[in-house]
Amino acid sequence: MKIVKISPFIYDIEREGDMLVPARMFTDEVLLERIKQDRTIEQLINITHLPGIVKRALLMPDGHQGYGFPIGGVAAFDVEKGVISPGGVGYDINCGVRSVALSVSLSEMKSKLEEVMKALYLRIPKGMVSDAAIYPVRGKELDNILTCGARMAVKKGFGKEEDLERIEDGGCLVDADPSMVSEEARERGGKELGSLGSGNHFLEMDVVDEIYDGDVAHVFGLEEGQMVLLVHTGSRGLGHQVCGDYIKKMRSTDYGITVPDRELISVPILSEDGKEYFSAMCASANFAFANRQIISFKAVETIGEVLKRNVDYNLVYDVCHNIAKIEEHMVDGKKMRLCVHRKGATRAFPPRHKLTPSSFKEVGQPVNIPGSMGSYSYICVGTKEAMEESFGSICHGAGRIMGRRKALKSFKKDVLEDLEKRGIVILSPSVRSLLEEVPGAYKDIEEIISIVEGANLAKKIVRLRPVGIVKG
């Protein structure tokens, strides 16, 4: 394996052996050494062996070892000749981040912050299994959620019609087919709609701490000192079950596809199995869009009740980072229809792209990039260069540098006390779940952002500072 430094933020792995394309890592020298410590690079190279892959396999700066694809892995496949792989999407289908600008300033929130966070902790269901979802559904009503996503949530009173303009794909993937979702997945999801989940999922109260581009921030509806709500969660048990169901099903098929890792089990995109998985994945994504829509609406409502006034909100944007999308991209001067897998990576489309929402047509699509618990988060904007270099993709967060078990062994409760001393109100079902997600278990978000900016994949617009966190 030969790694070639192209620029301070771009490293290439040249094509050799059975690789169908080269690979590219957006990183720097320090993070590259961290990446080498697990199977991340091996997994990246494995992707290059998959049929129909075009241009190159990619790794974002927050990349680390995952299931099948590394987290932070991006790859695009020719729809006619390529494959689709559940390992390139992940178990938490359409895990994503929503940013909501509130009509509340830090000065108003400060005296009520602890009360607000406690109310959010009590009102927003969380944990591995939830029997207290905000909006449990079943039968035809669940079908409607799986088919229409956030559109159905808004129709049921959770939010405003204008929210849909500020959700990736309008909050609804039209290729969804609820009949492709198993009964077990439906049973798991039906009682979890409107719940946060566990692990690295969170609900966070932030303040706009610094603005780098005032004109774009104004278009996003953001100003310094304003409170912003971040919601990070996905399709819960429904998406997890769908992924597991189709991995099992694909392993019983034989399309003559040889993969270097059984976690990369794949089928042709246009095969019946490929179409069925894609339809079920889209249905799971719609569930996740509805889930974040419901949670954020309930959170804003709760904040208003604590502050004893009507709190208005403006949805900045909702992006997903575990998904496969059918998109058109230019490859070697030719427009191609591709299935773009983004595993722990976020779409970042530039100004005047046909899929950039009309509200942001002249400035580019907002991209939410959360940091680790207690660190800064950023809202960035996509660039034209990202379309050329990464299929319009960038990182999705800070990225882990150690697993949860190691984090538990490495950190003590005083880390959490330090966060509290910094004025951050933190609430969680257990100390264990907090220690698993402490900042030291993640890469430095400042370094991650400097790499995506240095590689011209995105431009930072605002920096958010956390003041309150509810962990799943």
- Tell me the mean pLDDT in the region 354-371: 96
Give kind and range of the element (H or E) at residue 238: helix 236-251
Burial class (CB in 10 A: 0-12, 13-18, 19+), 335: exposed
Please give the pLDDT value at position 422.
84
Mean per-residue pLDDT over the chain, rounded: 94
pLDDT at 403 over 90: no
Residue 399: pLDDT band with limits 50, 70, 90 = confident
pLDDT at 23 over 60: yes
The model's pTM: 0.96
Where do the structural domains in the chain lie, given as residue ranges? Answer: 3-471
Marked catalytic residue, from 49, 64, 341, 396: 396
* Alpha carbons 116 and 194: distance in angstroms, whole number: 19
* Alpha carbons 347 and 396: distance in angstroms, whole number: 9
Buried b (16+ CB within 10 A) or exposed e, 390-425: bbbbbbbbbbbbbebeebbeebeeebbeebeeeebb
Query: Are 246 and 107 contacting, i.e. CB atoms less than 8 angstroms apart?
Result: no
Please give the pLDDT value at position 131.
57
Query: Are 148 and 193 contacting, i.e. CB atoms less than 8 angstroms apart?
Result: no
The architecture in CATH of the region 3-471 reads Alpha-Beta Complex (3.90)
Backbone angles phi, psi at 97, to 5 degrees: -130, 130
Please indicate whether residue 396 is annotated as part of the active site. Answer: yes
